[in-house]
């Protein structure tokens, strides 16, 4: 049941210059690399040449590239209201105009209420927790304060002109999990960390939508009406589970956590392929014979959601061992599919598909986080995570833009669709996962339980006694 909710309170020469500039500002032009810890790399006939930096990064190096990304987002997201018809900034908020909207930032791609922004805020908060640098949390605080400050204006605009094109429509009248889940989880994390204004009213609205209004199957599984009447998307595991988990934390009501467990269990039953250890992107339940397309970012959403769930799930919960076993199987399969360049392919099992950044960042986060929590062995997987991070670091250009990210992608019906999705530094999907990956990599390289040593022309993991 849907409810209306209004809170009661260029020429060729120029093109050539542009191309040269892009190449000059991109880390892709660098390399080949040698092992950073080899004392005589130029005289060692057994030393390899690598397409990405080879060896564990230093915390300062991780901090530098993460700060570049944060600084770009600061510049790309001015947090202001503009007249959409003229592009001019609005400073008079006494009476709303119909053409007013939240500034979507550089290239019109940074919507402050998009689900990708929820992942960015979660990444910013994680970065402060991992590094101690409050500039990340301050980014979230400023953005949330903007939303609070301008909320009355857009509420008045909705009352006067209707909901069409209202920048805050996802708050007033959420229509899908994309409108609610990721932002809800981020706002709860901010609230628990004491970052920014208290947005409990928004949290209550979005969590109520997830719990009571979003379409579900008869068994309670969250689902969509597209592309078929009953369709499951892996994306929705992230658009629901983190918010449900955070609601359990903030309220103390374990019914939220049990709902999250149910979603994880049902999605795995329907979408996980145990033969290959991967999740198909989606499934139309009215079709008995769904093709299995292992889209990378779909698998990334599952990794993020599962880590969030296991973080909160008690050790004696009856479903914990099965969920953890599936995560371990999933990560083992992903490790085997990592490319020789350190990233993962758009279609995980198709090495001729392009290398994709956002999913790779999610996987680096997953490996690093699971190692930190003791769920998987650092001896088996730390090198996978480090190689992934080193590859990710080459995807950040001099401006701090994250390159190589697939744009928003629906549940497709054939491989040609997935193979030919555009990639863009303005695809917001790359930024939050990158910050999450950097936060966990910071922890991994400083983990006191083990050390990464250079031995026999490669890197080995040695447990500390």
Rounded to an integer, what distance in angstroms lies between the CA atom of residue 305 and that of residue 271? Answer: 14
CATH number at residue 123: 1.50.10.10
Mean of per-residue pLDDT scores for the chain: 93
Question: 326-354 in b/e burial notation, b at 16+ Cβ within 10 A?
Answer: bbbebbebbbebbeebbbbbbbbebeebb
Instruction: Tell me, yes or no, whether 30 lies in a domain.
Output: no
Instruction: Tell me, yes or no, whether 201 lies in a domain.
Output: yes
pLDDT number for residue 313 = 98
Q: Which of 200, 199, 220, 219 is CA-nearest to residue 210?
A: 220
Instruction: Tell me, yes or no, whether 41 lies in a domain.
Output: no
Rounded to an integer, what distance in angstroms lies between the CA atom of residue 432 and that of residue 18? Answer: 27
The two counts, helices (H) then strands (E), for the chain are: 16, 10
pLDDT number for residue 316 = 97
Instruction: Tell me, yes or no, whether 330 lies in a domain.
Output: yes
Report pTM. 0.93
Residue 186 and residue 121 in contact, taking contact as beta carbons nearer than 8 Å: yes
What is the per-residue pLDDT across 17-50, written as a single tens digit (0 to 9) for each? 333 333 333 344 477 899 999 998 888 999 999 9
Instruction: Tell me, yes or no, whether 34 lies in a domain.
Output: no
pLDDT number for residue 2 = 40
What is the per-residue pLDDT across 389-419, written as a single tens digit (0 to 9) for each? 999 999 999 999 999 999 999 999 999 999 9
Is 162 a residue whose pLDDT tops 60? Answer: yes
Q: Which of 218, 200, 197 is CA-nearest to residue 208?
A: 200
Instruction: List residues bridging with 2 in a β-sheet.
Output: none
- Domain count for the chain, please give it: 1
**Cα angle value 382/388/389 (rounded, 5°):** 90
Instruction: Tell me, yes or no, whether 38 lies in a domain.
Output: no
Mean pLDDT of 358-367: 98
Q: Residue 232 — very low, low, confident or very high, per pLDDT cuts 50/70/90?
A: very high
Instruction: Tell me, yes or no, whether 11 lies in a domain.
Output: no
Domain, as residue range, for 161: 59-463
Instruction: Tell me, yes or no, whether 37 lies in a domain.
Output: no
């Amino acid at each position: 049941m849907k409810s209306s909710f209004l809170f009661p309170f260029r020429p060729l020469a120029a093109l050539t210059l542009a191309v040269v500039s892009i190449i000059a500002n991109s880390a892709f032009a660098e390399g080949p690399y040698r092992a950073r810890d080899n004392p005589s790399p130029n005289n060692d006939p057994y030393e390899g040449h690598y397409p990405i930096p080879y060896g564990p990064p230093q915390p300062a190096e991780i901090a530098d590239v993460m700060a570049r990304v944060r600084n770009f987002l600061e510049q790309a997201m001015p947090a202001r209201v503009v007249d959409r018809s003229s592009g001019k900034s609005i400073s008079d908020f006494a009476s709303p105009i119909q053409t007013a909207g939240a500034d979507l930032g550089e290239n019109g791609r940074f919507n402050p209420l998009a689900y990708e922004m929820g992942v960015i805020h979660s990444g910013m908060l994680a970065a402060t927790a991992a590094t101690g640098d409050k500039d990340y949390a301050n980014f979230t605080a400023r953005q949330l304060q903007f939303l609070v400050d301008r909320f009355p204006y857009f509420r008045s605009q909705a009352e006067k002109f209707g909901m069409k094109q209202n920048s805050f429509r996802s708050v007033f009248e959420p229509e899908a999990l994309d409108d609610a889940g990721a932002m809800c989880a981020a706002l709860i994390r901010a609230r628990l960390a004491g970052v920014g204004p208290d947005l409990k009213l928004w949290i209550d609205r979005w969590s109520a939508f997830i719990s009571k209004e979003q379409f579900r199957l008869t068994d309670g599984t969250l689902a969509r009406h597209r592309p078929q009447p009953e369709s499951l998307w892996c994306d929705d595991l992230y658009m629901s589970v983190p918010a449900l988990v955070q609601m359990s934390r903030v309220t103390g009501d374990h019914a939220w956590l049990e709902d999250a467990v149910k979603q994880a269990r049902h999605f795995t039953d329907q979408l996980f392929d145990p033969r290959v250890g991967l999740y198909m992107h989606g499934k139309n339940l009215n079709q008995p014979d769904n093709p299995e397309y292992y889209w990378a970012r779909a698998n990334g959403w599952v990794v993020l959601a599962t880590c969030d769930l296991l973080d909160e799930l008690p050790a004696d919960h009856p479903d914990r061992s099965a969920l953890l076993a599936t995560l371990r199987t999933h990560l083992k399969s992903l490790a085997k599919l990592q490319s020789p360049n350190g990233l993962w392919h758009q279609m995980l099992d198709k090495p001729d598909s392009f290398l994709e950044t956002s999913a790779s960042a999610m996987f680096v986060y997953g490996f690093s986080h699971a190692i930190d929590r003791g769920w998987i062995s650092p001896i088996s997987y730390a090198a996978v995570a480090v190689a992934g991070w080193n590859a990710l670091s080459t995807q950040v250009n001099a401006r701090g833009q994250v390159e190589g990210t697939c744009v928003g992608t629906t549940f497709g019906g054939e491989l040609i669709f997935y193979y030919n999705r555009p990639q863009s530094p303005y695809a917001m999907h790359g930024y939050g996962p990158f910050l999450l990956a950097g936060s966990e990599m910071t922890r991994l390289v400083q983990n006191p339980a083990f050390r990464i040593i250079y031995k026999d022309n490669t890197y080995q993991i040695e447990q500390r006694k």
